[in-house]
Amino acid sequence: MESIRAGEGHGAVQNYYWELGRRIHHDRDFMDFALEDALDSIGLSRHHVAAYEDPAFDEEIRTRMGEGIELAGNDIGTPIIAFKDPAGEKVGIFGPVITRVLGQEESVKLWDSVVTLTTTPGFWELKRTRTENPVFGERP
């Protein structure tokens, strides 16, 4: 991801992330595919695969992970998202974790709620046990 970000920008990272999600979650292909094929399918250079073994990206990965941990804490997982609070300070939180694709209206309501909760001073956590497996819907 950091090789793609450095060479091709944030938009290319998003495209690659979505392509991996399609393959893993929709196609149920748990990395039995060649990463070169995933890169090819979205028009990115295959040279990014070499970054997997390239320690030149290690520091950037550690820095980005450290930034997320600093914002959201060390007893969380991913995803970590961040927003600016009313005072302009960056705050982060783990989540949201959902098990199904929501419609547009429900998605906007959820997003607005997550922003509100995350940027509310003193808010820390909501959690409940997951009782259903993810349902991904149609392959985008």
Predicted pLDDT of residue 14: 96
Asked if the model's pLDDT at residue 18 lies above 90, the reply is yes
Assess if residue 28 is contained within a domain: yes
Model confidence at 131, in pLDDT bands (50, 70, 90)? very high
118 and 71 housed in the same domain? yes
Predicted pLDDT of residue 136: 83
What CATH number has the domain bearing residue 121?
A: 3.40.30.10
5 and 47 housed in the same domain? yes
Find out whether 96 and 106 touch, Cβ atoms under 8 Å: no
Structural domain boundaries enclosing 84: 66-140
137 and 77 housed in the same domain? yes
Q: How many CB atoms lie within 10 A of CB 28?
A: 9
74 and 140 housed in the same domain? yes
* Rounded Cα gap, residues 89 and 68, in angstroms: 14
Predicted pLDDT of residue 67: 93
85 and 132 housed in the same domain? yes
Number of domains observed in the structure of the chain: 2
37 and 87 housed in the same domain? no
82 and 137 housed in the same domain? yes
Assess if residue 87 is contained within a domain: yes
Q: How many CB atoms lie within 10 A of CB 59?
A: 10
Predicted pLDDT of residue 50: 93
Model confidence at 101, in pLDDT bands (50, 70, 90)? confident
86 and 130 housed in the same domain? yes
Model confidence at 92, in pLDDT bands (50, 70, 90)? very high
For residue 81, give the nearest of 116, 104, 115, 129 by alpha carbon.
115
Residue 51 burial (10 A CB sphere; 0-12, 13-18, 19+):
middle
Assess if residue 58 is contained within a domain: no
Assess if residue 43 is contained within a domain: yes
72 and 140 housed in the same domain? yes
Average pLDDT on 75-96 reads: 91
Predicted pLDDT of residue 138: 82
Model confidence at 129, in pLDDT bands (50, 70, 90)? very high
Assess if residue 61 is contained within a domain: no
**105 vs 9, 97, 124, 126, CA distance in Å?**
30, 18, 25, 22
What's the mean per-residue pLDDT of the chain?
92
**Beta strand spans in the chain (E):** 80-84, 90-94
Assess if residue 59 is contained within a domain: no
pTM above 0.85, yes or no: no
pLDDT in tens, 55-80: 999 999 999 999 999 999 988 888 89
Find out whether 93 and 129 touch, Cβ atoms under 8 Å: no
Average pLDDT on 43-59 reads: 94
Asked if the model's pLDDT at residue 32 lies above 90, the reply is no
